[in-house]
Amino acid sequence: MKQHMQRLITGACAIGITLTLGVAGAPAHADDAEYDVLVVGKTLGFRHSHIDDTTRAVIQLGEENGFDVEVWDPRQPALTLASTPFTTAADLSKYATIVFASPVDGTNNLDPARPRLLDDTELAAFQGYIRSGGGYVGLHAATDSMHTVPWYSELTGGGARFRNHPAQQTATMRVESPTHPSTEMLPAELVRFDEWYNYTTNPREDVHVLITLDESTYSGGSMGADHPLAWCHNFEGGRSWYEGAGHTDVTWTDPLFLGHVLGGIEWTAGVTTGGGDCVTFGEVDELLAELATGSQKNVHLAGDVAESLDAAELAADAGDHGAAIKVLRQAEAKANGIQDDVLVAKIGDLIEWQEGLAS
């Protein structure tokens, strides 16, 4: 961890130099790059000024942490690919994860006739990529794109989309899940100046919440006492991670925030694990429903496991993580009888998640 943070701080200093001097030509490639990342900054609607800074920051993170970055954003001609990379799922498979850096497309009026960030062909390629195990990182206004595509709303997390925001101001972010690879470097609280989004719905039921926003520390919040800001989940075979902060340009020279985003990139790329790997109770329930067939024994065991999961979720929602862990261990023991390694592993992930919350 210390070595990782030292690389990050060094990289952040380099980012500051890069932002001052500018970037000429295509991004440099890491000499020991282990995987590729795509940054999508293309916009058809309002364009956030941070997109250029975010792009450069991710490029620098790649140079410092072993991944190459390609860019799809015609508004950055010195960096962008010549044409859309969203051709086929097979073509996209070269990327371990794809970062959507506030690619607003102006579809928030839900008019199906307005052009989307991805047309039908591009969307099909992206869907195939995710369903084949691809990664997705959504940053800030990534929830303000493709409002007319319900599938994209599910990918970003629980259907939560950008609704509106008050004036930019200082507020307190609270880390809820401190053992995930994208939050383990963060303090319990972060006080930051940013543009704080209100979302169309609370995604908690469908995602693993990483960070919440304390609405008592600023004015204009409309989601109430439970305001998720960053979250992740496993979706249709792929991995999805979202962070709602990041509007201000200066955010992209903040080593702590960059470490957080790097953790999201690395987790969605599948190069890091931990903190329960964003497994949710709903995800395990769906898997269990698929396994509750065949022999009478399996059907009976699946019913027992389902009851234990329901009890554990109730305890977790009530904040009694110790009780949730105890019941989950019972569920894990019963799940062994079904003889499905994936089910047992995912219940183990739920236990790891709850252990992190309990500590």
Amino acid 300: pLDDT = 85
Amino acid 123: pLDDT = 98
Amino acid 74: pLDDT = 96
Amino acid 14: pLDDT = 37
Amino acid 93: pLDDT = 98
Question: Which tens digits make up the pLDDT trace of 140-150?
Answer: 999 999 999 99
Residues of the chain within CATH 3.40.50.880 domain(s) are: 2-268
CB pairs under 8 A, 24+ apart, for 69-72?
A: 69/27, 69/36, 69/37, 69/38, 69/39, 70/27, 70/36, 70/37, 70/38, 70/39, 70/95, 71/27, 71/38, 71/39, 71/41, 72/38, 72/39, 72/40, 72/41, 72/42
Question: Which tens digits make up the pLDDT trace of 329-343?
Answer: 999 999 998 889 999
Domain 2-268 falls in which CATH fold?
Rossmann fold (3.40.50)
Task: At 119, list the tokens.
Answer: 């047309």
**Regions in the chain scoring below 70 on pLDDT:** 1-33, 294
Helix (H) or strand (E) holding 213: strand 208-214
Q: What is the pTM of this model?
A: 0.89
